[in-house]
Amino acid sequence: MTAAVTAAAAAQVLGRLVERGETLAVAESLTGGLVGAELTSVPGASRAFRGSVTAYATALKGEILGVDGALLAERGAVDPQVARQMAAGVRRALGADWGISTTGVAGPDPQDGQPVGTVHVAVAGPSGVEKVSTLRLNGSRADIRRESVRSALDLLARELGENARAQDTEQIGGN
């Protein structure tokens, strides 16, 4: 994956959000701010991007993003439901229409019983939209983090596309 591919994904997502008059917030763990950095590298990002929370420490996922403490204690931070709650939590905390999140293990060591390369990305949006994608990535720590950024942006891009098609169908069917 090249930096150009990720930059194009960021520009595409922001363009769709601006067209729709919607906003985005990001909650990051293993990516440590890379998703936010990719988004803010796009000129005019402030028209749709509200901000991000880098909740690298497990406790911050609960304290700032509202992830259920019992869930964190039982499953650890590397869990699909944690990713889902992070996306919903950052959406609420920053007052955005959409939230995306990343949590996982970039290495070099396993975490919470999960092997290196286990990553969960999630999206939360209007009308109760919540999607999680579980990834099994290979490569270096940097490779895993970069692919996690691209995957999070792609998940949101797909959801924005599906959501737009659903709205078009409602408008056509409603006439």
Residues 137-168: tens digit of each pLDDT: 999 999 999 999 999 999 999 999 976 655 44
Helix ranges (DSSP H) in the chain:
3-20, 34-40, 58-63, 69-75, 80-94, 141-174
Q: Are strands 130-136 and 118-124 parallel, antiparallel or unpaired?
A: antiparallel
Over the stretch 90-129, which tens digit does the pLDDT of each residue have? 999 999 999 999 999 999 999 989 999 999 999 999 999 9
pLDDT at 9 over 70: yes
In angstroms, the CA 98 to CA 115 distance is 29
Q: What was the pLDDT predicted at 164? A: 60
Taking only the tens place, the pLDDT of each residue in 75-85 is 999 999 999 99
Mean pLDDT computed over 168-174: 43
**For the chain, counts of helices (H) and of strands (E):** 6, 5
- Single out the residue of 34, 28, 54, 21 nearest to residue 120, CA to CA: 28
Return the number of other C-beta atoms located less than 10 Å from residue 115's C-beta.
12
3-174 CATH: 3.90.950.20
pLDDT in tens, 26-54: 999 999 999 999 999 999 999 999 999 99
The answer to whether 65 and 93 are in contact (CB under 8 A) is yes
Neighbours of 99 (CB within 10 A): 30
Give the model's pLDDT for residue 171. Answer: 42
What residues form DSSP beta bridges with 102?
28, 121
